[in-house]
Chain A
Amino acid sequence: MNSGPNGAWFTCLPSLQTQVPCGTGRHTVRWEAGSLELSSHPDAEGELVLAALGGDKARCVDVAQAWARHADDLSVLAIGPRGPADQIAVDWDDVLAAEQAGSAVTGVPVLGAGRSKPTRLASQPGPTLARAGARQRQMQSEQLKAQRRRNDVLSLLALGYGFQVRLIGQVAAAHAARGGGEQAGSGPALVAAITGRLAPVAEEWLGIDPDQVVVSLHSGRSWGSSELTGYGADRRLRVSLPAGWLARVWACGLARVGRHLIVAVEQPGWPTARVLGLRAPGAKPEPLQVRADPDGPADVPHWEAYE
């Protein structure tokens, strides 16, 4: 899943760590080369066995499990950040509040709201009540599943921007490895995910309205294509990119370097790499040597061309 012809998608990303409230303290959770490491829980599997027997599950372990559960979840792309300016305001207090709210929920939406009649002499209440009961149980089950899913996502978002971006990369890489949406039926989600992240980059690159960016999924061996069409309200930046662009380029902070829109990574690495960049729509991509700014943000590198 993580390896491609040019190496693993995350090769341009440095390791990253954060603090997670766990038990009575705060523990370090570290991302390294596409995996989460729990240094305070060397025997996470053993802890899971104890939790299954009725013990408390450590939040760090919970987070690592959530990460694994959502490593190919397209919802991560729909909910996660579209760029550094897209601030997601979720912290551990929010996670705790949402968990408490979820556990406090005992009822489900009132059923039916059907017409009330004084009598229904011909009705057969038995099957009707059985159907209502089955439907209520189904709704409760779905609600619990939705709550767990929401709590998972909130926990992953609470890890911070660097982790959010890496999870997006993980999900995009997983789907790129499966054919980039064509076979797996994930095309619409991937098109939307790339559009949502390319549009603000294109706005900075060309000054184009983000709503005028049109993305399609590219499935060939080349990097894709780009063109600028129309004028005024009909102006469109049409870009065709593979699903892997989200992982190898965007998640690694490489979407725009200087005046170039980066469309592919030729030789991944950190702190230096070689990429392909477009100076203008429709132009032939140029190879660029880039290096991460040592004084840049710690979560996702800021890159500069140096040749």
Chain B
Amino acid sequence: MSPSRRHQAGSRQTLVQALVAIAAAGASYAWAMGIGPPAVARQLAAPEAMLVRALLDIGESRFTSALERIDSLLLSNPNFRLAQLVKGDLLLARSRPINSIGNASGAPSDQVDGLRDEARARLARYQIETPREFAPRYLLQMPQKQKYALVLDSAKSTLFVFENSGGAARYVADYYVTVGKNGLEKLRQGDKRTPIGVYHVVSQLPREKLADFYGSGAFPINYPNEWDRVRGRDGYGIWLHGTPRDTYSRPPRASDGCIVLANADLDALARILQIGSTPVVIADVLDWARPGEVEALRTDLLTSIERWRHDWESRDTEIYLRHYAGKFSSNGMTLAQWSAQKRHVNASKAWIKVQLSDVSLLLYPGKEEIAVATFEQDYASSNLSNRMKKRQYWIKEGGRWRIVYEGAA
């Protein structure tokens, strides 16, 4: 574990103990015991906060208080199924002893298991500390026009929202989310997984055009992205969306790959999302860093991009082509085809001028070193000029950053 993640370690330790207790007590309410508040508490949404307090009450055998909280929660959110389940347990506990969560007889076990998972996830979320000094490593550079970035931590069933505060990512909120039934790392159509990677919100589907299943709205993201396509990944229709009328939330792993939020949370997101520019970084476990800790990496990448731009302007095509990786591709073109075309085109130019602006720089989650650069490119030359939004995927090859994909964003 890197030092940068250390601030999360304390809460993780308690959670591990809690999970051990679950295993020992057969998924009993024992796991609510010993869970204390995090050092730097966050403000949970009211329904979630009430549910968590009720679960903590149960852990400390304050059943009357727990039931009062649950009843009051169900008054405002009668479709909160986990709360209904806990209510059932609390009532049943008055007539006979219970030793596990979800004592409904004859209930489908997968449904009960899903709600148990949600209870655990909600309690684990309660323990998350406000990330004040830390931000996910992935948010290397946010351009001024991009106001927010979303980062999904699948291990914590949490979608974090970061605000662009003078170029630095500052935590503003987080929401409980549901991901794919089979977890993360989507590869194929129908594998019921949520992709891992760097994505962007590409459009908005209003409630009126959607079935009730998607709740208060939907925001498709660009899966499969250019890098996914290069690697032959398929499938489509990965959205951020809401919940149907009959349920406040869904278990942590329940979707076909979409990222599902409570409608109130989706509505809050809808107010800040910028179609086409808000990034959505999806990770299994988040890698956190202090801003200073990624500065060297950021500089390294920005320098690589600047050299590429400069070498392009120089019209020294062989030097320019050194910025491209061996397995480079662009819309079906191999590096050899790309190189041939560039040599031909550049030879006809008397001069080239390239200006970049609004550079967004995001690091890919996972072990592989991949960065995604998105920017406005203003290209002018002796015989052709154009403006475009461009996206490049950079990988570490032979000790330096090289472009593995380039194309219009």
Q: Do A and B come from one complex?
A: no
B residues engaging A (CB < 8 A)? none
